[in-house]
Amino acid sequence: MQIIDRRRVFDGHYKVNQLIVQDGDAQLKREQFAPGKAVAALVYDTIRQVYVLTRQFRIGPEAEILEIAAGMIDGDEAPETAVRREIHEELGYEIDKLEEIVQIWPSPGTSAEVITVFYAEVSRKTGAGGGLAEENEKIEMLDFSREALLAEPLRDAKTLIAVQWARLRE
C-alpha cells in the first residue's frame, strides 16, 4: 500500500485528513484522525509514596475518566519538555526523575496520534495543578497507593500501559 494523495478535510480543534491509498490496482479513500503528538506520565510522589492521577471529562467516552497526566506537544517542543509542562499544569509538580516507557499509536487503524508515555518521580509541588482555566480544564487530582492503583478498574489505554509497566518492574 502507498499513500498517493493527502488532503486536510477538517481543520477544527482536531484535524482530519482524507488519504487516497493505492493498493495494487485499487485506490482506497480513507479518513485519518490527526490530532498531533501527545505525552503522558505515570507520576509517583516519592515523599508521600503515592501515584498521582487525574480525573476529567473526556469527549471520546463522553464521561469522566481516571488517567495519568497527559497533554499535547506544542509545535516542535520536545516530548520531555511537554511532559514537564503538563505535569506542572495538571498536578502542580516539578519532575525529579523522568524515564520514557514507550511511544504508542493508541488507535493506528484510524488515527495518526502518537503518545510518548513516561514514568515521572516527583517530590516538590510548586503549583496548584488542576489544569488551565484558559484551556477549560477542570482536572481532579487523585492519590493512589501501589495496591490501590493496581486494584483500580482502569479503562484508559495509556494508563493501563503505564500501570502494567510499573507492575512488571517491581
Torsions phi, psi of 71, nearest 5?
-175, 175
Calculate what percentage of the chain has a pLDDT beyond 70: 99
User: What is the bridge-based pairing of β-strands 37-45 and 50-58?
Assistant: antiparallel
Query: pLDDT digit string (tens) for 80-112?
Result: 999 999 999 999 999 999 999 999 999 999 999
| 134 annotated binding-site participant | no
70 is known to lie in a ligand binding site: yes
**How far does Cα 21 stand from its chain's mean position?**
28
Q: Quick one: cell of 31?
A: 479518513
Residue 100 in marked binding region: no
pLDDT over threshold 80, residue 134: no
SS3 at position 59: coil
Is 147 assigned to a binding site?
Answer: no
Q: H or E element: which one contains 90?
A: helix 79-91
User: What gap in Å lies between CA 92 and CA 125, rounded to an integer?
Assistant: 5
Domains of the chain: 2-32 (no CATH), 36-169 (3.90.79.10)
DSSP state of 134: G
**Whether the Cβ atoms of residue 144 and residue 109 lie closer than 8 Å to each other:** no
pTM, 2 dp: 0.92
Confidence of residue 135 (pLDDT cuts 50, 70, 90): confident
- pLDDT higher than 80, residue 22: yes
